[in-house]
Amino acid sequence: MRVIVVGAGVLGTMHAWQAVQRGHEVVHIEREAEARGASVRNFGLVWVSGRAAGEELTTALRARELWEEIGAAVPALGFRANGSLTAVTDETELAVARAALARPDAAARGFALLTPDEARALNPALRGDLLGALWCERDAAVEPRTAQRALKDALLASGRYTFLGGREVREVVGERAVRDDHGELHTGDAVVLCTGAWLGGLVRELVADLPVRRVRLQMMQTAPLGEKLTTSVADADSFRYYPAYAGAGLDAMAAAKPQPPVAAEHRMQLLMVQRADGGLTIGDTHEYAEPFSFDVVEDPYEHLTAVAEALLGRPLPKIRHRWAGVYAQCVDTTRVVHRERVRDGVWLVTGPGGRGMTCSPAIAETTADALEW
């Protein structure tokens, strides 16, 4: 088959990967010279721990297997099975962690509740005050700034992959064909549109009432820490954000311990992962009401810095990068992704939300199976 993939973020790239791995030819079209959206503006986390039971967790676990397989084939992805620690600092947070451990799927997630000494033995960089930590063995990480580039290089080596950057697809022409803004027509046996947060223009013409919204986030990255952060790290505010932790324990925590105003206003959690160069990627915020601000706001960064320093028990290195990103999320947040046939042979796949980096390999595999590639 000849497969046309539009969009070179992680979701589009994984669709291209699936097609090439199954022996097909791929033409990959991206409006930028290379991916510049949420796929490179994230933590690079393969995050199983907080996923909702059912389809979301099943997708994340399958994606975790695929990430490890792909990482072995493409070492430049920087895949590492580093797991995660969600730090707890008081009894209300500890109760939520204990409830997570009691879930019927806790073993599948690789959950364990650690004492402070056990947590520090696993991650000695956590020198702050802890009451314990929820360990998730199945969480992992890749390098988001370079992952798509590494995958593209591997795809090019197959001899069955053509990348066309700097071209915006303007029109779906009949069945199984698109025309770009250079006037070139690209025809295949299947077309997959993975346009990310680009929900206007062609996408709006194809699906007038797309059940997908955009979400904006802020993040930052430090200079090298100077020591190893052996696991990814989350704070207990992440319990408020991820569906796996919903329940009476979380309700009690929220009542007893409201978020600080800046964290509540910006719907914040702390996630922290170390990059290959030793720096720390730290975030994040969530903004849902458009139009989004064009600038970044300093208060959330100050809050994140304070939380990170409390967990590490030391000052953060100098902040070298701050940025904002926008991703597409299904309005019904229980849905993993929106997949719709918009013409014969033409599929739109979008809206994974913050699950995109985690789940994209399995989402692409499901698309390929559904289309009988």
pLDDT by residue (tens digit) across 280-290?
Answer: 999 999 999 99
pLDDT at residue 164 in the model: 98
Q: Is the pTM of this model over 0.95?
A: yes
Alpha carbon distance 152, 37 (integer Å) = 16
Alpha carbon distance 67, 65 (integer Å) = 6
pLDDT at residue 28 in the model: 98
The mean pLDDT value for 151-178 works out to 96
Q: Are 231 and 123 in contact (CB under 8 A)?
A: yes
The model's pLDDT over 109-148, given as tens digits with 9 standing for 90+, comes to 999 999 999 999 999 999 999 999 999 999 999 999 999 9
pLDDT band at 101 (very low <50, low <70, confident <90, very high): very high
pLDDT band at 333 (very low <50, low <70, confident <90, very high): very high
The mean pLDDT value for 243-249 works out to 96
Q: Which domains does the chain have, with CATH numbers?
A: 1-81+138-211+335-373 (3.50.50.60), 84-137+212-330 (3.30.9.10)
**Using omega within 30 degrees of 0 as the cis cutoff, is the peptide bond preceding 284 cis?**
yes
Neighbours of 21 (CB within 10 A): 17
SS3 350: strand
Neighbours of 140 (CB within 10 A): 25
Alpha carbon distance 120, 275 (integer Å) = 20
pLDDT at residue 160 in the model: 98
Q: Which of 136, 155, 353, 123 is nearest to 231 (CA)?
A: 123
What is the residue-averaged pLDDT of the chain?
97
Q: Are 355 and 10 in contact (CB under 8 A)?
A: no
Angle at 310 between CA 51 and CA 275, to 5 degrees: 60
Q: Are 373 and 24 in contact (CB under 8 A)?
A: yes
Alpha carbon distance 77, 17 (integer Å) = 14
